[in-house]
A and B are shown apart, each in its own frame.
Chain A
Amino acid sequence: MTSWQNNRAVRDARIAAGAGLARGKVVEAHDVTRLLEAVIRPGDRVCLEGDNQKQADLLSRALLAVDLSKVNDLHMVQSGVVLPEHLDLFDRGVAKRLDYAYSGPQSARIARMLFGGKIELGAVHTYLELFARYFIDLTPHVALIAAVSADREGNLYTGPNTEDTPTVVEATAFKDGVVIAQVNEIVETVPRVDIPADRVHFIVKADKPFFVEPLFTRDPAAITEGQILTAMLAIKGVYAPYGVQRLNHGIGFSTAAIELLLPTFGERLGLKGRIATHFALNPHPALIPAIESGWVRQIHSFGSEVGMDDYIRARSDVYFTGPDGSLRSNRALCQTAGLYACDMFIGSTLQIDLQGNSSTVTTSRIAGFGGAPNMGADARGRRHPSESWLKAGAEADPDSPAPLRRGRKLVVQIGETFGDRNVPLFVEKLDAIELAEKLNLELAPVMIYGDDVTHIVTEEGVANLLLCRTAQEREQAIRGVAGYTDVGRRRDRNMVAHLRERGVIRRAEDLGINPLDADRSLLAARSIKDLVRWSGGLYAPPSKFRNW
């Protein structure tokens, strides 16, 4: 007789093998490695919850310590490769294959290991793409997740940093997988149920709270006049003419400058209520002055941010919160919101080429993609109109009849022409292409494809690529805002002047901005302490950002 429930039987056998180490669902921290040896089988697909911020650090240390004769050659499917232990797994032979999305802090080491053949790479994904594959061909056999607290039944409270957990658990628990959660504490009753108990098979109380990385805090004290000028150009040259209300911001200093200019420069331009009202965004501390000034109506978040918990609780009109009052984030849904319900993505990158392709890969660092390619892509499945989307669509394709013309999402790359240590932002050829050649990848790791980019904003001006009609115009529009980089100095001056007459390139003076007005006094907050003041003392910055 054919059996159609093999996987269920295997899952039950795994749980039975682990049950000997548990009291109910609770396993002691010192028994976790033995639990993993009992539950995980060689070659399994394992999601070791490494999110953008929250890390199942106890479980990753326990997995690293397994007996290699029992557990080996795992296929890791996790969004974030963030902790050193995540890569130690490959050095030790516990794991062999990797499919992931983001590797910020480990970008240099992961590049070395890929070159050295220590890791068999599936693909580097965008978050939403990896989550999608959890349900098609990368479904985990075992998920090792992190939560704030659990009750004895296994109901989990994931707290403000819910992030990827609901998605990981959905894919694992409903396809005959085993879910093991590390929690900071075991309580009588959880503050709210983020993950119901029947999807959780084992819980472990960690000796210390799971690690969370403060990724979204930018100290206003470090914002330069160049970044302020660039932010002024973006507000007056892009936000205002398109009336962009629904958007996502990247995490760089340029977008932090925009957030801090809304209540000052933006207010003077009379833009309050007309732009930047609804966000798909982590709780950026730099947005506090704009929120307090009544600019922002609603924010949905991928994750949380260290120090923002009390502020978020007190501003539930703006943020999504649970019945317990704390933030409920959800990366998969927020990514979907960014893709379909936002009219603009604006963010920074490390390299932009002559077609507008951009990448954060350099030959020695592979930072992965995270969410940017998804945020920074036109959603071909979008069907609802908005002022901004229709205007951008009309600029790109003025000749089609309006009822049949697709709108366009604004995908804006913002940055200074020279980045850290005077490395040029603009290049003739992306390092990503060289990397793809070296690693024999079929696809170069391009963060945002040129055909999705609508605007490039630098301190030299705004280039509107929607208005370019030929590849040559596009190239010159990009060179025309590339400043004194080699790419910028090789511009065709006549063609750039012509593009400026057509409004394809707009300089500060074309927008009525005096570069000498780009002064730090324009920032609504000039320090972390100013942000604390704006928040009425509710924002509690982590110690590394305190200097008082």
Chain B
Amino acid sequence: MEDLSFQHRVRGRAGGTRQNAIVGVVASGNLEVLVERVLPDAECVVDIRTAAMGFGEIWSAVIGDFVERYSPGGLKFSINDGGARPDTVSLRLAQAVRSIAENGQ
């Protein structure tokens, strides 16, 4: 297992009012993302626990592009990764933003 953490300054706050959401599952080649609205509007944190060692650079690139594209301000992401491919990670993160952007609890 390897733990990684990335913190970004973000242009703006993520939409919606929901406080948290979970997408995906922990399985081989897949990942689970818990997203919580717990940070100041201009901050974003992504904590990763992954089964695959030595992919820090790729994670950094994937998270950087994601933050740039979706501006997920105020959100903390906790990822439980079973060795997912980068494109699956991007997709799950986008799904997490979409889920929490819904209104309600």
Contacts and interface: CB of A to CB of B under 8 A. Distances in A.
Interface of A: 224-226, 229, 416-418, 421-422, 459-460, 483-484, 489, 515-516, 518
Interface stretch (B10-18, B37-45, B91-99): B91-99
Given A484-B58, A484-B61, A489-B61, A518 B91 contact: yes
Contact of A226 (B61, B83, B85): B85
A231 to B, nearest CB: 13
Given A416-B87, A418-B86, A422-B85, A484 B62 contact: yes
A515 B65 CA distance: 15
13 contacts: A225-B88, A225-B91, A226-B88, A417-B87, A418-B85, A421-B83, A422-B55, A422-B83, A422-B85, A460-B87, A483-B87, A484-B86, A518-B91
Contacts of A422: 52, 55, 83, 85
Given A484-B58, A484-B61, A516-B95, A224 B86 contact: no
B94 A418 contact: no
A431 B29 CA distance: 25
Contact of B86 (A229, A421, A483, A516): A483
Q: Which of B55, B58, B62, B86 lies at the interface centre, i.e. has the most chain A CB atoms within 10 A of its CB?
A: B86
Interface residues of B, number: 16
A422 B52 CA distance: 10
Interface in B42-71: 52, 55, 58, 61-62
Given A418-B85, A483-B86, A516-B98, A226 B58 contact: no
A516 B93 CA distance: 10
B96 to A, nearest CB: 11
A423 to B, nearest CB: 10
Query: 8 tightest CB-CB pairs across the interface, nearest first?
Result: A484-B86, A418-B85, A459-B87, A226-B87, A484-B58, A484-B61, A516-B98, A225-B91
Nearest to B98: A516
A516 B94 contact: yes
A340 to B, nearest CB: 36
A483 B88 CA distance: 12
Contacts of A459: 87
B86 A417 contact: yes
A541 B82 CA distance: 31
A416 B84 CA distance: 12
B74 to A, nearest CB: 21
B45 to A, nearest CB: 21
Given A483-B86, A484-B87, 13 more contacts: A226-B85, A226-B88, A229-B91, A417-B85, A417-B87, A422-B85, A459-B87, A460-B87, A484-B61, A484-B62, A489-B61, A516-B94, A516-B98
Contacts of A224: 29, 88
A512 to B, nearest CB: 17
A417 B58 CA distance: 13
A154 B95 CA distance: 63
Q: Which of B88, B94, B98 lies at the interface centre, i.e. has the most chain A CB atoms within 10 A of its CB?
A: B88
B94 A515 contact: yes
B104 to A, nearest CB: 19
Nearest to B84: A422
B6 to A, nearest CB: 15
Given A484-B58, A484-B61, A489-B61, A515 B85 contact: no
Contacts of B86: 417-418, 483-484
Nearest to A230: B87
A290 to B, nearest CB: 26
B91 to A, nearest CB: 6
B17 to A, nearest CB: 20
